[in-house]
Structure 1
């Protein structure tokens, strides 16, 4: 199997979200998760209002059965929108969340770069994440 085949298989597990759908998803209570490493967020720009959870701990933080879960990971019905830089790593991450039974997990086509190009970097600020939760997750 090649990485392109793996990516295609991962994306076949769920419906991907487009940048024009992001604000509506946030309004209905979806949680945006930025999985880019801190150094990449520093270089490219942050996504204010998004939960910063690096890829290497994502499943442990969002699985409701995990002892290392964040407070927002209450059940398998939570809507998670995973964001990376361009929408490749996030596809593999969203598929892994789907495999955990998080059936509303998805990723954003084009990732952070699509958000930035659309001028929507500030759109996530209205997300329902509490300041405490953001501080807790960002520290990991």
Structure 2
């Protein structure tokens, strides 16, 4: 039997730390790196979380890998990294991927940007 994308996200959420918007805001204040995995049009249309670094989901593995020519120097396997997307699916899958790549302190924003906005957290124009 094949897995659905929903199955994969549910499985991923069981392997990672799922944070609510208030927890993410507090961790961001304490220096955690927040990574926005959404595509550029989503950010332009809906805005962004202040201070979040944009790395599209399709580039995450390449930006996170220190041996890749596309490596983002701001990503460090030792630091606290919190991923988010629109609703939490891509970020859950991405967090599992980072763990598999050796990142030891990864989490994701459960409910994503949508949940962030619903909780009245700050948003800036995209």
What pairs up with 1:1-140 in 2 under 5 angstroms?
1-74=3-76, 76-122=77-123
Where does structure 2 lack aligned partners over 5 or more consecutive residues? none
Residue 134 of structure 1 corresponds to none
Where does structure 1 lack aligned partners over 5 or more consecutive residues? 125-140
SS, match of residue 35 in structure 2:
strand
**Number of residue pairs matched by the alignment:** 122
Contact 1:13 1:98 in 2 (8 A): no
TM normalised by structure 2 equals 0.86
TM normalised by structure 1 equals 0.78
CA distance in 2, matches of 1:29, 1:35: 19
> RMSD of the alignment, in Å?
1.7
SS, match of residue 19 in structure 2:
coil
